[in-house]
A and B are shown apart, each in its own frame.
Chain A
Amino acid sequence: MKVLVFNCGSSSLKFRLYEMPGEKERLAGEAQRVGTKTAEPPRIVYRVDGVEKVHQADMPSQEAALREVMGLLDSLDGMTPDLLGHRMVHGGQRFTTPAAKVDAKALVDLDAVAGLAPIHNPPAIRVVRACHDSFPGLPQFLVFDTAYHSTIPDYAANYALPKYMREDMGLRKYGFHGTSHQFVAQEAATMLGKPMEEFNAVSCHLGSGGASLCAIINGKSVDNTMGYSPLQGLVMSTRSGDMDPAVVLSLVSTRGGDATAVEQYLNKKAGVLGLSGVSSDIRDVIVHSREETEEGERAKLALHVYLWRLRKYLGAYLTVVGRADAVLFTDTIGELVPYVRGAVCEGMEAFGIAADSGLNEAATGDALPADFASAASSVHLLAIRTNEELSIARQAFALAAKAA
């Protein structure tokens, strides 16, 4: 059975086709510059059997991009999907199971949660609707980043707010990156020969954009650094992470009550970019921090704040987990930047953590997955490549098989 996975961004549509249950990737690609006016025209870049190809097409909307992708697959031999899986960022309290079939009720529920992730949910919902309308015979499944975190206990998921805000307004922690955290936890449990139901870890999804930590007990998420929105938690590339709520109010006041301007600032211009003033990429900041200049000093501050917040949360979650089997590092920074992994693990002997610097340096690229813990460490330190699309394919396939 061929499972096609869509991962929809605000101006892109990523897709991968898997042969299941063997999990062989048949095709991977991305529709780029969708619905945007850029110097270069929109196009679909895709890879079949290791060969990269480009397909030029006019794609003024996500719906148009979908039609182009489906047409492209149809034109290729043996690439027509039997099943669709959609990555959804935020399912709120309406979608708490790992995956959900798209039907009339699901479409209504999707509209209800659209505003919970205003950047990610609306374009993804448009794609789901377009698939539903254009390919009614093709079973579709939704996989939510928030679903893995539905096991977070009430005392960790709730904020100390009045009941009407917690219950009527739905202001609670949902958590994000669940698909990735679940995927790497499953991979790590398999690597270590432990059943997922007995696996304890802290998973560090350190993306080049967003980032979050997840505390995992017996294979289940018990806490995530992101909250109601993806703004809470770690310092990210352009997102501030944790912030005194009174500071947010103060920023709103200084901008004449314009909350939207503050939202844009805290999501797009804060974080590593706001602190360093030079780049939103922590890799650039690491380089700049070595300069004995004013710019270098500011980069140093950004790096220290970034690492400090990460270390604080790692310590907090390791304490929650108790006896962790492993600390997992994944996504762009977690997989490719040994400096960050090493700095985070340094001086953490109280938690049973000791990294081997040589193994850490070597743990990148094709060497993944790799364990860079030293012999003295009682906790495995695993750098693992995440694959959210495969995780979505697995979950969609499992639900389809169950339904059949």
Chain B
Amino acid sequence: MLTVLVCVPSLTRSTLEVFEVPEAPGAVGSRRIFDAGVLETPAELDAAIKGLTGKVPGIDLGVFYGPFGGTEVCSPVLVDESVLKRVEELTPRSPMTLPAVSGAMKVFAEHNVGVPAVFDYGSGFFARLPRRERFYAIDPEAARKLGLERTGFHGLFHAAAVAGLRQDATGDTRPPIRTLSICLEPRPEAAAVLDDRPLMVTGGATPLEGLPGQTTCGEIDPGMVLILAQEQHWSPEQIADSLTRESGLLGLVGRPTTLSELFASKEPSANLGREMMLYRLLLATGTAISALGGLDRIVFSGRHAALGEEIGAWLCERLARLPGDVKPRVELLERGFMELLLEDALRFRLEMFPTVPI
């Protein structure tokens, strides 16, 4: 068995857990042996990492997760000096998580000398996103310098949605499998993936773009942002706050609402949010069919993945009206976030050192 630390650092809400995991690749049955609960400051997280000694057996591997880590390299990556330097360089683009990620990885290294750590980040899955999808219609050089490119965020879930395909592959001659991966997290995201290569994603340069979230607006007319600044005289901070914290399902329903609550609700106030979410998912599905040239599977993941049964049936009913033969099968990926994170990082670790016991 391996003892694996799994940490999701943030400046305001970090988690730290330790699992015992079977060592054989593909084996299942991990067991959580420690949970530090919600850690509200980086100092609390540092203390929790330092305090593990004596509470759990010796750590064999540390796994650190952040939604953003650039798109230059596929994740996860083995943490070394160059990775730490890169994370620090990227900090302005994800200021709420990367400083905490960087700090936690350093503290881990100091107190677990010689123990490998990996950094897994959602945007890493999108390193192979085509340029036509990555770029907004502005000067590409300026966009690159300012980091204003589409990256996507829930790569971990999308990678898990297509991970089995590599194992199922029967050879080079089979046609590529066309997957629409719909991650139903508080900030949902849909991605079109050809075998394991992403071709389209609803998330943008930040998680604000795309599908509406619990409190985030999703796609809006960019002109409205400027109207708020010019005519309402809102500051950029005020606009960002409203679009990030007051919008989405909260704004539509009028009170804090999760996706599962939205679909279970019988209240009239939930109707607009539910209809809008279904409609936006239908648009994303059509976009995916266009990007992929068809559709073989729709895979739902995330903490509200169970909704995939209802949403998937609704989408398939709509797709049956198309003249082409578009009949995807619907699959639910109901494993939790930590399990996905663990599996992804371990697969990487074990694939990288297939003959060296950890």
Enumerate chain A interface residues (CB-CB to B < 8 A): 115, 153-156, 158-163, 165-166, 169, 171, 173, 226-232, 235-236, 239-254, 257, 259-260, 262-263, 265-266, 270-272, 274-275, 277, 298, 301-302, 304-309, 311-320, 322-323, 347-352, 378-379
Contact = CB atoms under 8 A, between A and B. Distances in A.
Contacts of B169: none
A229 B279 contact: no
Contact of B205 (A159, A247, A307): A247
B220 A161 contact: yes
A351 B283 contact: no
Nearest to B131: A301
Given A229-B223, A316-B286, A245 B208 contact: yes
Contacts of B146: 250, 254
A253 B139 CA distance: 17
Contacts of A323: 321-323
14 contacts: A165-B242, A171-B224, A239-B137, A245-B220, A247-B205, A250-B205, A252-B229, A263-B223, A270-B137, A275-B135, A305-B135, A312-B291, A315-B288, A315-B289
Contact of B322 (A161, A166, A319): A319
Contact of B283 (A161, A298, A309, A316): A316
B221 A350 contact: no
A245 B138 contact: no
A252 B326 CA distance: 43
B131 A274 contact: no
A189 B258 CA distance: 44
Interface in B79-131: 130-131
B217 A245 contact: yes
Contacts of B276: 155-156, 158, 160
Nearest to A313: B287
B319 interface: yes
A162 B227 CA distance: 16
A175 to B, nearest CB: 11
Interface stretch (B11-19, B23-31, B231-239): B231-239
A220 to B, nearest CB: 16
B283 A319 contact: yes
B285 A319 contact: yes
B224 A246 contact: no
Nearest to B293: A347
B209 A160 contact: no
A298 B138 CA distance: 12
Nearest to A240: B137
Contacts, number: 251
Interface string B226-266: 11011110011001101100111111101000000000000
Contacts of B227: 171, 228-229
B322 A160 contact: no
Nearest to A162: B251
Closest 7 pairs (CB-CB, A-B): A315-B290, A319-B286, A352-B323, A229-B223, A244-B204, A227-B221, A160-B212
A249 B205 CA distance: 12
A246 B226 contact: no
A309 B282 CA distance: 17
Contacts of A262: 226
B350 interface: no
Given A158-B276, A161-B217, A350-B324, A243 B287 contact: no
A320 B315 CA distance: 10
A132 B123 CA distance: 58
Contacts of B239: 245, 249
Interface residues of B, number: 77
Given A247-B204, A322-B322, A316 B223 contact: no
B287 A244 contact: no
B295 interface: yes
B186 interface: no
Nearest to A252: B236
A322 B136 CA distance: 29
B309 interface: no
Pick from A232, A240, A245, A298 the residue with the most CB of B within 10 Å.
A245
Given A232-B221, A379-B323, A244 B206 contact: yes
Pick from B133, B243, B250 the residue with the most CB of A within 10 Å.
B243
Given A160-B273, A165-B251, A350-B289, 6 more contacts: A228-B224, A229-B224, A247-B209, A266-B223, A301-B135, A316-B290
B322 A246 contact: no
Contacts of B242: 161-162, 165
B204 to A, nearest CB: 3
A160 B294 contact: no
Contacts of A305: 131-132, 135, 137
B218 interface: yes
Contacts of A154: 272, 275
